[in-house]
Amino acid sequence: MSKVRKQTWRFDQPIYLGATGTVVGPLEARGPLSASFDKCYEHLHCGQKSWTEAERALLRRSISFCLAKAGKAEGDIDLFLAGDLMDQTVTSNFIARENRIPFLGMFGACSSSMETLATGAMLVDSGFADNVLCAVSSHNATAERQFRYPTEYGGPTKLTQTFTVTGAGAALLTKEPGKVKVKEATIGRVIDWGINDAANLGTAMAPAAADTIWTHFQDTGRTPDDYDLVVTGDLSGVGSPILDEILLEKGLDISSIHQDCGTMIYTSDQPVSAGGSGCACSAVVTYGYLFNRLAEGSLKRVLVVATGALLNSSTPKEKDTIPCIAHAVLLESAKEG
């Protein structure tokens, strides 16, 4: 691995997404990307007795799909990197207890999908692991209960508020040749724009996304013409235009290639306010829809920028401003032509 200028890692060894697994809940199953997911649950409980057990079921199933498609057993995996939104990443911890793979729990809020992927790729490239399993999860009922109000409360939502995606995504990193390559990662800085409203996280995260994307282009010397897509994690319909405007003011126009997972995963008439969010938002879109398009070669180069608001359940009550971060991973199709 080599460092490119300030914040970008370039992986010197060929590293591939060997396989992926995606599982979603009922609302995501009715969205435009439903055909790209491995499993769609009809009910939020996912066949379990509680919301927390439901989220574990999501993560467990996404891993099972990933390993089955890769033809790997848990004993073939050197490291398991996982994260979620629950206190102390308890969903990931409990699944790690089950699979008994050497485990690194990671928290970057909704940026955890690309945080785990970047870290895993670094470990494979450096020779510390041959097969690394990366996975994240979120559940609307567990996250809303922790950060806002229990969904049973039925409180009103603001138009700026995002809707936590119910789902989980897993990916296997390996040097064994596959259809999608992991080429680079740009590690973000924590940016605080002075927003203290947990119902307006798209606005809060937009400057962090802008900082990471700007740095990626500065580090690599590329232009937007070199990319098919720049996909942000969960800025939603509120934060996405703010990101485009911030970058345009710096002389970087990505508006023609920018999409956001939070607006891709739902239709405009679904009851999700500004769009989707949560660890699973970027994970299921990337490991499902984007992975499939890269594998078939209809997309050649995609920069996935997962965004995260680094708050806890006490932050909104204490009116602290919300620090945010974004991590970017460059994915390329391995298909020639």
Considering the chain, what is the average pLDDT of its residues?
Answer: 93
Q: CA of 132: how far to CAs of 58, 303, 318, in Å? A: 19, 21, 38
Residue 192 above 90 pLDDT? Answer: yes
Instruction: Give the whole-number percent of the chain exceeding pLDDT 70.
Output: 95
Q: Which domains does the chain carry?
A: 12-174 (3.40.47.40), 181-333 (3.40.47.40)
Q: Out of 67-71, 73-77, 195-199, 209-213, which region has the weakest mean confidence (pLDDT)?
A: 195-199
In this structure, the number of other CB atoms found within 10 A of the CB of residue 103 comes to: 17
Helices (H), 71-111: 90-99
Average of pLDDT values for 186-204?
A: 93
HEC letters along 278-297? CHHHHHHHHHHHHHHHHHHC
- Which pLDDT band holds residue 337 (cuts at 50, 70, 90)? low
More confident residue, 235 or 197: 235
Residue 148 above 90 pLDDT? Answer: no
3-state secondary structure of 298: coil
Report the pLDDT value the prediction gives residue 87, as an integer from 0 to 100.
86
Report the pLDDT value the prediction gives residue 153, as an integer from 0 to 100.
47
Q: How far apart are CA 240 and CA 173, in angstroms?
A: 29
Q: How far apart are CA 25 and CA 43, in angstroms?
A: 7
More confident residue, 44 or 336: 44
Report the pLDDT value the prediction gives residue 319, as an integer from 0 to 100.
81
pLDDT tens digits, 305-327:
999 999 887 776 678 899 999 99
More confident residue, 154 or 81: 81
pLDDT tens digits, 103-130:
999 999 999 999 999 999 999 999 999 9
Report the pLDDT value the prediction gives residue 315, as an integer from 0 to 100.
75
Residue type at 226 in one-letter notation? D
Average of pLDDT values for 68-76?
A: 97
Q: Could you tell me which residues are beta bridge partners of residue 180?
A: 333
pLDDT tens digits, 127-142:
999 999 999 999 998 8
pLDDT tens digits, 24-46:
999 999 999 999 999 999 999 99
pLDDT tens digits, 240-277:
999 999 999 999 999 999 999 999 999 999 999 889 99
